[in-house]
A = this chain, B = another copy of it.
Amino acid sequence: MTYCLGILSNSGLVMAADSRTNAGVDYISTHQKLFDFSNPGERVILICTAGNLSITQGALTLLRRDLVAKEENNLHTLPTMYEVARYVGTKARVIQEQDRPWLEKDGIDFKCTFLVGGQICGEEPALFLVYSQGNCIQASKETPFLQIGEAKYGKPILDRILDFNTPLEAAAKCALLSIDSTMKSNISVGPPINVVMYETDTFKVRYELKLSLGAPYLAQIRKKWEISLNEAFDRMPNIDWEHYQDLPDDSVSLHG
């Protein structure tokens, strides 16, 4: 599996991804899933990938090929983030058209999803989720984060902590803890973790981090979070059973 997330904030954008892939539990390996296609000074384009690795790698290859060949439409020429997201979706469709019938025949999941975030000069920062079908949705002030892959374990912390006005540094920390929570609960999500923090109107990726297994900072943040959570838990009041204790047998409300 994979877990990637993007967070749009009023001061910028955070993108983060784990790096574990697996073909069954007996073939686990490491592949980067967060890519920087920026043209510094003019645009920042960050892409995260999840799903069938052969499909997502194929789509990335097509994206790079258009850049090298200086095709009219490429990641550095398209005028808006929306068009960039649609264009990524188009590449996913091209590869799926080639491979889907063969994968489908053997019951292999051909699905893929992308997060496409960044800022193009003249626009506000934007964040899109591109579905396997090539269509896309956009993050908004109401829902400032988007997730792909194994998204459920890491969602509670985002739901409790984040909104559009969360400071960028806090959003980055939250992204890291969301990935760490997922790694703790699902072995198919794993390090290295890549995190990028982008400040609006800088048009350059200035903050990026790669945390490998055993990175002291990763160990430290995991340990501290575990301790903090346990302390917070201990401070919570125990359940007030008072009015529910020693019910006469015939009044047990859960009687089967």
Binding site for B on A (CB under 8 A): 32, 34-38, 40, 45-47, 60, 63-64, 75, 152-157, 159-161, 169-170, 172-174, 176-177, 181-182, 184-185, 194-197, 204-210, 217, 220-221, 224-226, 228-241, 244-247, 249, 252-256
- Cross-chain contact B36 with A254 (CB below 8 angstroms): yes
A85 to B152, CA, bound (A): 29
Pick from B47, B152, B197, B217: contact of A153, CB under 8 Å: B152
Pick from B172, B173, B208, B246: contact of A233, CB under 8 Å: B173
A46 to B220, CA, bound (A): 41
Pick from B155, B194, B229, B239: contact of A232, CB under 8 Å: B229
Report if A207-B254 is in contact (Cβ < 8 Å); known contacts: A232-B231, A236-B225.
no
Report if A194-B254 is in contact (Cβ < 8 Å); known contacts: A159-B185, A160-B230, A185-B155.
yes
Given A152-B153, A217-B239, A221-B237, 18 further pairs, Cβ under 8 A = A35-B255, A36-B256, A45-B256, A60-B256, A63-B256, A154-B156, A159-B184, A160-B184, A170-B233, A170-B238, A177-B236, A207-B241, A207-B244, A208-B241, A210-B253, A210-B254, A229-B232, A232-B232
Least CB distance, A62 to chain B, in whole angstroms? 12
Pick from B181, B196, B197, B249: contact of A156, CB under 8 Å: B181
A185 to B204, CA, bound (A): 34
Contact residues in B for A155 (Cβ distance below 8 Å) = 153, 185
A170 to B233, CA, bound (A): 9
Least CB distance, A116 to chain B, in whole angstroms? 11
Contact residues in B for A221 (Cβ distance below 8 Å) = 236-237
Contact residues in B for A226 (Cβ distance below 8 Å) = 160
Report if A37-B239 is in contact (Cβ < 8 Å); known contacts: A156-B185, A231-B232.
no
Q: Which of A64, A176, A233 has the most CB of B within 10 A?
A: A233
A157 to B229, CA, bound (A): 8
A173 to B140, CA, bound (A): 35
Between A and B, 9 residue pairs with Cβ closer than 8 Å are A169-B239, A173-B239, A177-B236, A196-B254, A206-B245, A206-B246, A225-B236, A228-B232, A228-B233
Report if A236-B173 is in contact (Cβ < 8 Å); known contacts: A153-B153, A208-B244, A256-B37.
yes
- Cross-chain contact A161 with B254 (CB below 8 angstroms): no
- Cross-chain contact B161 with A239 (CB below 8 angstroms): no
Nearest B residue (CB) for A64? B256
